[in-house]
């Protein structure tokens, strides 16, 4: 981990820039920024020589830690606009964290390649759905009640925690498949990000506790250098992302989100080759 000053500065600049993009993504897509932070961290930790056994896990855990304040700020901004479906969000209060706990247990045993495969497959499917979205793809016009809703919430929490994202990618898809406007889905997803990120980053600390392969300034699978560098930037730019989201029309938002998802999916699929 001993690097020349120039490489340390480049690392700081790259991580800070990723934080700015992540903050925008949090506001625009309600995704908490994890979908961009995880691949950036994966690359940066690789350049720093972090062991491949913990590299992906460290990227996911650090991303979840950063999503905590980012999702809180993004959610508050959307709530002030009256865009969040509070009834749906309250119905997820138990189911989503339960999925997060289950994913934290899984993270203690799953391989790095397994985490990357989950990331790539889910983003690929979501990207296709958004790019080629048609009314016929809707499952219904009303979001189902329990037990279906609780099961969906559980899997949103579970898969999002394995991916290190705030749940927006999956919750956006769930809500739009049942006819909800994309803007409402984005706003509500910022609240889902809060339910995922808080227990999620604590779970990754537990899952990686005491591992000898971890780099300096890491507590479990959370690297505090990356967290401290990124959080201030994401907090500053997240409200700007919210304003952009409400300025875009529905189809433009879907296309932008779909293209972004496919790009990140391809990046992780390539890393598995």
- Residue with the bigger pLDDT between 187 and 251: it is 187
**Which of the given ranges, 71-85, 195-209, 215-229, has the highest pLDDT on average?**
195-209
Q: How many residues does the chain have?
A: 273
Q: What is the mean pLDDT of residues 251-265?
A: 79
H or E element: which one contains 232?
helix 224-247
pLDDT of 118 > 80? The answer is yes
Beta-carbon contacts of residue 82 (< 8 Å; ≥ 6 apart): none
What's the pLDDT score for residue 101? 95
pLDDT at 133 exceeding the cut of 90 = no
Q: What pLDDT shows up at residue 82?
A: 87
Over residues 21-34, the pLDDT tens digits come to 777 776 676 565 67
Q: Which pLDDT score, from 0 to 100, does residue 222 have? A: 95
- Is-contact 172 70, C-beta < 8 A? no
pLDDT of 104: 93
Q: Which pLDDT belongs to residue 5?
A: 64
Average pLDDT, the chain: 84
Token pair belonging to 18: 């990723």
Six token digits for residue 269: 């699929």
**CA–CA distance, 9 with 59 (Å, rounded to integer):** 19
Note the pTM of the prediction, 2 decimals: 0.81
Average pLDDT value for residue range 191-215: 92
Examine the pLDDT at 129 and tell me if it is beyond 90: no
Residues 138, 170, 27, CA angle at the centre, nearest 5°? 110
Confidence of residue 245 (pLDDT cuts 50, 70, 90): confident
Model confidence band, residue 168 (pLDDT cutoffs 50, 70, 90) = confident
Which residues are within 8 A (CB) of 115 and not within 5 positions of it... i.e. 6 or more apart? Answer: 56, 57, 60, 107, 162, 163
Q: What is the mean pLDDT of residues 146-155?
A: 94
The pLDDT value given to residue 170 = 86
Cβ atoms < 10 Å from Cβ of 49: 11
Q: How many C-beta atoms surround the C-beta of residue 85 within 10 A?
A: 16
Q: In this predicted structure, what is the pLDDT of residue 208?
A: 93
């Amino acid at each position: 981990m001993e690097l020349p000053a120039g490489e340390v500065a480049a690392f700081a600049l790259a991580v800070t820039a990723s934080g700015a993009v992540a903050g925008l993504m949090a506001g625009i897509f309600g995704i908490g920024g994890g979908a961009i932070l995880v691949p950036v961290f994966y690359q940066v930790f690789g350049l720093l020589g972090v062991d491949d056994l913990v590299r992906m896990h460290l990227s996911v855990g650090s991303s979840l830690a950063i999503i905590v304040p980012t999702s809180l700020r993004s959610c508050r901004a959307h709530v002030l606009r009256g865009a969040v479906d509070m009834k749906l969000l309250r119905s997820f209060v138990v189911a989503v964290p339960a999925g997060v706990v289950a994913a934290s247990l899984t993270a203690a045993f799953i391989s790095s390649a397994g985490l990357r495969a989950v990331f790539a497959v889910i983003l690929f499917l979501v990207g296709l759905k958004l790019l080629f979205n048609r009314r016929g793809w809707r499952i219904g016009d009303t979001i189902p009640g329990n037990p279906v809703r609780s099961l969906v919430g559980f899997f949103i929490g579970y898969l999002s925690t394995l991916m290190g994202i705030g749940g927006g990618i999956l919750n956006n898809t769930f809500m739009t498949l049942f006819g909800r406007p994309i803007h409402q889905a984005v706003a509500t997803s910022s609240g889902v990000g809060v339910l995922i990120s808080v227990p999620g980053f604590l779970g990754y600390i537990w899952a990686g506790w005491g591992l000898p392969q971890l780099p300096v300034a890491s507590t479990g699978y959370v690297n505090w250098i990356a967290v401290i560098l990124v959080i201030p930037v994401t907090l500053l730019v997240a409200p700007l992302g919210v304003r952009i989201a409400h300025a875009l029309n529905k189809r433009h938002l879907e296309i932008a989100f779909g293209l972004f998802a496919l790009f990140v999916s391809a990046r992780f699929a390539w890393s598995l080759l």
